[in-house]
Each structure stands twice: as C-alpha cells, then as structure tokens.
Structure 1
Amino acid sequence: MKKIVFTLFTVIILFSCNNNGNPNSNTELIGNWKLIEVLADPGGGSGTFSSVESEKTITFKSGGTIPSNGTLCTMSINSDNQTSGTYSSAESTFNSSDCNNTDYNFTFEQNASILIINYPYIEPCKAKYIKE
C-alpha cells in the first residue's frame, strides 16, 4: 500500500510541474520588427491605436544591440534617421545614446508577434510593431 501511495504521489508531483520560463523568450524577441500602429492618448485613457504607413523597423540582435532605421527616442514614424541602442530582455528595456536623455530606459512589452514600446509622456504614448 505504501508503494502505491508513494508512486501515486510521485506521478502527481511530476505532472503538476510546469515550465515557468518566460513565454516571450529572448529568442522570440530577436529579429526584425515593423511599425504598424501608434497610440497618443489625448487624456483620460480614451486613446486607441491608429494604423500608420511606415517603413520604420527595429531589430533586436542577439548581442544586445537594437538598431533602427528611424529614431528610437520618439514615436516618429519616419524611417530616415538611423539610431541604435542596447536592450535588456530580462528587464524589457532599452536605451540609446542617440536620445537627449541617454540614461532613460524605454520599456517594451512583447506578446508573441506583437511588440509595444512605451514612450515617456504624461499621457500614454506607445508604438506597436509586428514581427517580420
């Protein structure tokens, strides 16, 4: 009887374990991302994302760098100002010496093939990218 209880307990423990790793791993983050929408909230949380026509891209590289064909420092949709920075996938942040405040850490959120970068304004301002 003790062997049955022990075996049953062991099986329950093994099947109840799961992988609590980050589902948005660094491997998924690495690659090219294209700007598709921006959000500039006018106040009161009423803002929504709006589609944009832009060639702006950012690339998360495995060595921790993040080059872009546009500025990383603002929500600009232009793709005529190359900038770069470094990122931390563990902290979901990046910074760039090309920005006015070189010490500021921009935050980002990744959910599968969608990446949202948060910009430091009074009201929420965000840029949404899709994985290419």
Structure 2
Amino acid sequence: MKKLVLMFTLILFIVSCNNDDENNRDVDIVGDWKLIEMLSDPGDGSGTYNAVDSDFVISFLDDGTFTANGDFCNMLDVSGSPSTGIYSEIESTITPELCEGSIPNWDYSFVINGDKLIIYFPCIEPCGAKYLKL
C-alpha cells in the first residue's frame, strides 16, 4: 500500500509540474527592445511603472555593443542624438559612450525578467525603464 501511495504521489508531482516557458524562458538580450514603461518614484519607495508612448528602441548586437535611436544618457530622450555603447551580460551592465553634458558614463544595471528588459538608472530615488523585445 505504501508503494502505491508513493507511486501515486510521484505521478501526481510529475503531472503537476508545469513547464511554463512563457515566464521561465531564457530570453537572449541580442535584438531590438522597445521602451514600454518608466518607473516613477516620489522618493518613498512607493513608485510604480507607468506605460509610456515612445518610439525609443535599443538594439543589442551579438558583439557586445548596442545602438539606440535616441539619447540613452538623458533618460531615454528619443529627440536626442542616437546613442552607442557596450554591454556585458555577465556583469548585467550597459555602458553608453559619449554622454553629453555633465552626465558621466555610468554603468547602468539591467535584468531580464520573462520577456521584459529592465534598466536601472543612477538616480537619488528609484528610477528605471522597462522594454519589450520586438
């Protein structure tokens, strides 16, 4: 009887395991990513991501470089000059080149969560941007 219960439990466990590829897949950073949301936080940690209507796209190439159709250094201003830089999947950082003005060339951290790329900016309060892979 114990063997039957153990076997039934094992079968139930195997059947209940859900191979949810949509949420657990490894998404490659190489490709085009479109800005869809920006994090707004008043400084108390209660910030939320809000949808944005933007044409800002970052293209990650397989040689460790990226291009963007706007000013990456200026909080993703599409009206600015196109941006270029490098990225490291191992360190989860993006480093733009030639930031204009007084903004230094920061290493921006990123994570890939499902089919979303989240880039964090060096701000006093939390700030970031979410992208969807095209």
Q: TM class, shorter-chain normalised?
A: 0.7 to 0.9
Residues 1:101 and 2:114 are matched in the alignment: no
2:112 corresponds to which residue? 110
Retained in 2: the 8 A contact 1:56–1:79? no
Q: Show CA shifts across 1:86-109 (max 9, x none).
A: 00011110112222312x211011
Runs of 4+ in 1 over 6 A off after TM superposition: none
Most deviating of 91-100 and 59-68:
91-100
> 2:133 is matched by which residue type in structure 1?
K
Deviation, 1:46, is: 1.0
Alignment of 1:1-132 (within 5 A): 24=26, 28-99=28-99, 100-102=103-105, 104-132=106-134
CA RMSD of aligned residues (A): 1.6
> 2:40 is matched by which residue type in structure 1?
A
2:4 corresponds to which residue? none
Deviation, 1:79, is: 5.0
Give the % identical residues.
Answer: 43
Secondary structure at 1:49's aligned position in 2? strand
Structure 1 residues 92 and 75, CA, compared in 2 at 3 Å: closer, same or farther?
A: same
Retained in 2: the 8 A contact 1:74–1:119? no
Q: Show CA shifts across 1:37-95 (max 9, x none).
A: 00121111111011110100001100000100012213235254200100001111011
Gaps of 5+ in 1: 1-22
In 2, distance between residues paired with 1:81 and 1:58?
13
Task: Report the TM-score, using the length of structure 2 for normalisation.
Answer: 0.73
Aligned residues: 107
Gaps of 5+ in 2: 1-24
Task: Report the TM-score, using the length of structure 1 for normalisation.
Answer: 0.75
Secondary structure at 2:48's aligned position in 1? coil
